[in-house]
Chain A
Amino acid sequence: MFVDPKVIDYFTNEMVLVKIDAEKDTVLSKEFHIIGYPTLVMLDKNGKEIDRMFYSPPDEFLKQAKDYMAGIGTLDDLLKKVAVNPNRDTMFQIADKYKYRGGDADAEKWYGKVIAAGNPTDSLSGESRMALADMYRRNKDYNKAVTAFKAIATDFAGKPIVADAEYYIGDTYRRAKDTANAISAYETWLQHNPTADTSDVAYVKKVIEKLKNPPPPKAEEKK
């Protein structure tokens, strides 16, 4: 993206770009709540966050950058819009924006509004509930996360979202170092998804194998 001449021209004339190695500068990464790479954070000239961007083809990237600079589609803009028209899609976008910038309490509030304003088992509620469960998982609130994913798997039985929920039950148990439940959850996923993408199946089988036969701890090197 940054090698495209139009983008280079844009950064030369309209914006200032700084590249931060997030693995090295962990203080800044924490400050900006960076949970994945790459993450692009746009600040105004006074250092206030305008919004976050993602890598995209040059024309798309430039359009989004220009929109944000004009205040279109930013969190502030969406908050103004939703005050006039309480649209669930806008509420969901607001929740997502809060989630990605680390405003967990606000994200939870807005995902809650999305669910409350519609049917709790429609697709937007499902996405909101998955986002909430994912937030709990990332925040290491594993019991809450597992409960949330299990509720989704029950409430959305027969829908595609269940495959993701069941996968993340296994992932959450694995992160919580609950090996027995992790293996059981991953095996359930394999049983319920026999026609899943072969690479996903291979990956889950590999994880199960590793959980059953963990590699021996590395011997300390002799000094």
Chain B
Amino acid sequence: MRRSNLILALAILLVLVTAALAQESVEKMTGKPMAPHYTNLADAKAASLAKQRPLLIDFYAVW
């Protein structure tokens, strides 16, 4: 039982690491930003107000 749990945990970890690496490589290949960002304007506006910082909206399109 403990061994199967360990295998499951390793499998999940592997999936997460692979996903993160894949995202990073996609970002590098496509020039997509790696800077911290929101994907929802309402959340970003709330953060901007809370942190008292200006907000930059990057309108992009996927071709």
- Which residues of A approach B to under 8 Å, CB–CB? 1-3, 7-8, 10-12, 14-23, 28-29, 32, 34, 37-47, 50, 53, 65, 69
Which residue on chain A has the smallest CB distance to residue B52?
Answer: A45
Return chain A residues, CB-CB under 8 Å to B37: 2, 11, 17-19
* Chain B interface bracket (under 10, 10 to 19, 20 to 34, 35 or more): 20 to 34
Apart from the given pairs A15-B54, A19-B39, 15 other A-B contacts in the complex at a CB distance below 8 Å: A3-B28, A16-B51, A17-B35, A17-B56, A18-B41, A18-B44, A19-B38, A20-B58, A38-B60, A41-B56, A42-B55, A43-B56, A45-B48, A45-B51, A47-B45
Return chain A residues, CB-CB under 8 Å to B34: 2-3, 8
Q: Which of B21-63 contact A (CB under 8 A)?
A: 27-28, 31-41, 43-45, 47-49, 51-62
Verify B57–A21 contact, CB threshold 8 A: no
Verify B59–A32 contact, CB threshold 8 A: yes
- Which residues of B approach A to under 8 Å, CB–CB? 27-28, 31-41, 43-45, 47-49, 51-62
Question: A65 vs B41: C-alpha distance in the bound complex, in angstroms?
Answer: 19
Return chain A residues, CB-CB under 8 Å to B51: 16, 45
Question: A14 vs B54: C-alpha distance in the bound complex, in angstroms?
Answer: 8
Verify B54–A42 contact, CB threshold 8 A: yes
Interface SS of A by simple majority: mixed
What's the least CB distance linking A8 to chain B, in Å? 4
Return chain B residues, CB-CB under 8 Å to A28: 41, 59
Verify B54–A23 contact, CB threshold 8 A: no
Which residue on chain A has the smallest CB distance to residue B42?
Answer: A18
Return chain A residues, CB-CB under 8 Å to B28: 3
Return chain B residues, CB-CB under 8 Å to A10: 35
Question: A164 vs B14: C-alpha distance in the bound complex, in angstroms?
Answer: 55
Q: Which of A3, A39, A44, A47 contacts B33 (CB 8 A)?
A: A3
- For this complex, 5 residue pairs linking A to B, each with C-beta atoms less than 8 Å apart, are A3-B31, A16-B53, A20-B41, A22-B60, A37-B59
Return chain B residues, CB-CB under 8 Å to A8: 34-36
Verify B62–A45 contact, CB threshold 8 A: no
Return chain B residues, CB-CB under 8 Å to A38: 58-61
Verify B39–A18 contact, CB threshold 8 A: yes
